[in-house]
Chains A and B, each alone.
Chain A
Amino acid sequence: MATLPDAGSPLTDADTFTRKTLRRDRWLGLGSFAAMLALWFAVTGSGLWPPLVAPTFLPSPVAVAQTFIKLATTGYQGHTLLHHFLISLMRFGIAFAFCVAVGVPVGLLMGMHSGVRAVLDPPIETTRPIPKLALLPLFIIWFGIGELSKTIVIAAALFPLISISAMQAVRAVSVRKIQAAQSLGADRFTIFRRVLLPASLPGIFTGLRVSVGIGVTMLVGAEMVATSDGIAWMALTAADFVQTDVVLVGVLIMAALGYGLDQIFRWLERRAVHWAGRE
């Protein structure tokens, strides 16, 4: 057999260039973050000089850190900080898990079968533009003031996102790849399991990452009424008492939650679909 015309390391100069650029951009990102923090220190004084902004409006990072430690040790309004965090995580987690477990298969079915799509598309598409938070009062009437209505309002926001992205992912799978599988003797189930499903994963992941962001946002709405715990509830209640430091602790914890979840999904995405978009 002849030798390979184009064998060799798949790594090229372009990759080294990319790696250098990546390293530079990481430092630039860190620098930008540090600058924001420095600005916060500067305008609030942090006890080193008189604050330019009244602590009622913007407490210093040091004060926020102290409040965090205080909340973490003594809790807020009868619950530990960990409890507030976990109950919020649970509300999001259950809604998200439900949407993944049901929305992804529903979306895949819609993508593969025009009959299923014809049945499910109208209910999903007609309810999609409704702001789901507006339905919260209705959900409270229907499902009570307990956990169920809060979980449902979050799920209602995530379900169309996740199912539609799964549907579009399946429909975007190249016909050639399906034909290739067919002419290799694969039956319908094999084509689904080994071609359609993996080929749809990048699109599904995109939908999941978008809905993580939206789900954390929905927490704020879900914990606005008929609650006495949760991180968003803590921030909202503290605002009533102008406890700006507590509000900021709540906001930062939610930011960290959103960021952390996004990082987890990025990591999963890199591992599961490292081949995405590369033909």
Chain B
Amino acid sequence: MAIEPVDLAAPSRRPAAKLLVDGVSKRFGAGASAVDALATTHLAALAGEFVAIVGPSGCGKSTLLNIIAGFERPTTGRAALDGIAIAGPGRERGVVFQQGALFTWMSVADNVAFGPRALGQGVAASRAIAARYLDLVGLTGFANHFPYQLSGGMQQRVGIARALANEPEVLLMDEPFAALDQQTREILQEEIRAIWRRTGKTILWITHSIEEALFLATHVVVMTARPGRIKAAFACSFSQDADPLVTTTPAFAEAKRAIVGLLRQESLEAQRQEAAA
């Protein structure tokens, strides 16, 4: 079995956690119209771990990411990075969005150099950093293009380079490849794996795709339908595999089957909720 159930909030993991989600919940609105987006959630990610969160639509996985990113405040509990409570957005937590977050009025190089410049680096130094990260994501020749001149896949590479350019402690990725076609997505998945191995970043990855989660992550978290809470979590070894075709092995299929089974009930529940609303 290539996946093993694991308690990601186990007491043994908490003191060493790079990223700690401690009793976080989120309720939107108040009174009768209040919506519980996220039930009380505990999660600890150690340095260098790649944690993928899968769950049905509207299960609060993006809300969880937004809280860790500092875009939203939790209703209860707290999220912390290296033991320091998160109070707002910060450069130590790089965010990659699904799409539409690039600065369309800037060249690709200026997009990537935005972070270093915002942190007070000079123009030339920032440009040099941008060139390095554009090289890392394979966009060396596109520094002076504008985002609208690039394909969706290339735009996501810019987003990844931009987030990496500030050398964040953790990368928060909110369905970064969801809008891409299958072929582009597979290539980018391999690349993000290579980048993760090379840089050793802690990554929190939100996705709809079980395959993507199993292929990339060291840990896969399955969430329930709204209000989302952690239904199960697994340690997962496929990300260590050198074989790019590991997704076609029987062990992978077996692991996928186990998680699909868990997620199916939740997706049905989510659909039921939607129909009732």
Contact = CB atoms under 8 A, between A and B. Distances in A.
Interface stretch (A164-172, A193-201, A207-215): A193-201
Nearest to A191: B118
B145 A179 contact: no
B99 A279 contact: yes
Contacts, number: 108
B71 interface: yes
B105 A6 contact: no
A196 to B, nearest CB: 11
A211 B4 CA distance: 66
Size bracket, chain B contacts:
35 or more
A176 B102 CA distance: 9
B153 A6 contact: yes
Interface in A32-70: none
A190 B151 CA distance: 28
Nearest to B92: A185
Contacts of B256: none
A118 interface: no
A195 B111 CA distance: 11
Nearest to B157: A4
B229 interface: no
Given A194-B114, A278-B148, A279-B148, A183 B103 contact: no
A174 B138 contact: no
Classify the secondary structure of A's interface with B.
Answer: loop
A180 B154 contact: no
A278 B90 contact: no
Given A2-B138, A2-B187, A182-B88, A195 B103 contact: yes
B171 to A, nearest CB: 11
Nearest to B185: A5
B142 to A, nearest CB: 8
A251 interface: no
A195 B163 CA distance: 16
B25 to A, nearest CB: 21
Contact of B91 (A5, A183, A195): A183
B119 A174 contact: no
B63 interface: no
Contacts of A1: 135-138, 191, 194
A176 B70 CA distance: 13
Contact of B90 (A183, A274, A275, A279): A183
Interface residues of A, number: 31
Given A1-B138, A4-B154, A184-B118, A10 B69 contact: no
Given A5-B187, A6-B154, A176-B97, A275 B104 contact: yes
Nearest to A279: B100
B184 A199 contact: no
Interface string A235-279: 000000000000000000000000000000000000001110011
Contact of A176 (B100, B153, B190): B100
Contacts of B60: none
A187 to B, nearest CB: 7
Contacts of A185: 90-91, 115, 118-119, 166
A177 B162 contact: no
B149 interface: yes
A182 B97 CA distance: 13
A2 B186 CA distance: 11
Chain A to chain B: the 7 pairs with minimum beta-carbon distance, closest first:
A185-B91, A278-B148, A182-B89, A184-B115, A186-B118, A6-B151, A198-B105
Interface of B: 69-71, 88-91, 93-95, 97, 99-106, 114-115, 118-119, 135-139, 145-151, 153-154, 162-163, 166, 183-184, 187, 190-191, 194
Interface of A: 1-7, 10, 174, 176-177, 179-187, 190, 194-195, 198-199, 201, 273-275, 278-279
